[in-house]
Amino acid sequence: MLNIPEYKHYNGERRIALLDNSAVSFMEKLERCGILTGELLRGYELVLIPNWVAAEIKDSSYRSMYTEKLYNDGIPLFIVAEENYAQLVHKEEGRLFSIVYAASATLGALKSYLRRNVETPDPLDMDAYEDWIVKMYHDWPLNDVCTANGRAKKKDAGEISLTILAEILSWYYPSSEVITIYTQDRDAYAFQENAHRQLKRIFLDRKSVQVGYKSNDWLLQQLYMHGKITLEKVKEMRTDERTVTYTEIRKDSSTILVTQKVDNEHFVALLKNATVQIIF
């Protein structure tokens, strides 16, 4: 277990961040290179890691020690168990099922599992949420991925849990000023965006808070803009070609939105361009 306290009850926090394993891994590597990352999280009143994400973090002693260091350095960091999500929606378990179902909508095997094993004609006849969510994780219908330490990682489980939690906060806590997911996983973004569109048809009586994102490339741009990292170090930290979404202001002051694969040389050129804003 990570030596980080568990979050059980909402306490009025208005600036909230959620951490994915991909973001924790990246920030830990930055920290090992001498680039302090705690300030990237300093402005939040609450930083949450779902338990299914914590399982992935614990695959690495470096990541585990890094997250514990964040907590010990004063970051308001907590683990939140998926079984406790029912408390966060005030025990509205029928609507919580709808959130889980919407989060799973693009994953056919998971959606089919929920229909066969959880959904009932009358939502009042469903098993208790705490029971079926634990069983779903145990029976995870997507193919496992073997990690370096031999653990069978449940594919997309962390991203699905992040999506569920983000949507709970979005729909149930409208006083939130900021809900931001730190992740480099574009699937996590796709899961949440799709879920939010579907849930608009269910939560007709509520207004939601828009969920924001901070990708690893966004973090690199911010660190570079504030003089915290050199371009050479950027090249060391960014080791793969990947898809980037950014805006760029043209000479006529118009703005274009671009999504394309970007290698390191191209990425460095984007960082040098003051008219570019990395989105994801």
Nearest-angstrom CA–CA distance, 224 and 270? 11
pLDDT of residue 57: 95
pLDDT of residue 146: 67
What's the alpha-carbon Rg for the chain, to the nearest Å?
Answer: 19
What tokens were used for 165? Answer: 């939690």
The count of C-alpha atoms lying within 13 angstroms of the C-alpha of 276, restricted to the half-sphere facing its C-beta, is 21
Nearest-angstrom CA–CA distance, 250 and 248? 6
Grade residue 123 by pLDDT with cuts at 50, 70 and 90.
confident
Q: DSSP 3-state assignment of 50?
A: strand
State mean pLDDT over 161-190.
Answer: 95
State mean pLDDT over 21-46.
Answer: 92
pLDDT at residue 150 is higher than 70: no
Grade residue 239 by pLDDT with cuts at 50, 70 and 90.
confident
pLDDT at residue 1 is higher than 90: no
Nearest-angstrom CA–CA distance, 52 and 38? 23
Question: pTM (2 decimals)?
Answer: 0.91
156, 164 Cβ separation under 8 angstroms: no
pLDDT of residue 159: 94
Nearest-angstrom CA–CA distance, 55 and 59? 7
Grade residue 61 by pLDDT with cuts at 50, 70 and 90.
very high
What tokens were used for 123? Answer: 């939502």
35, 229 Cβ separation under 8 angstroms: yes
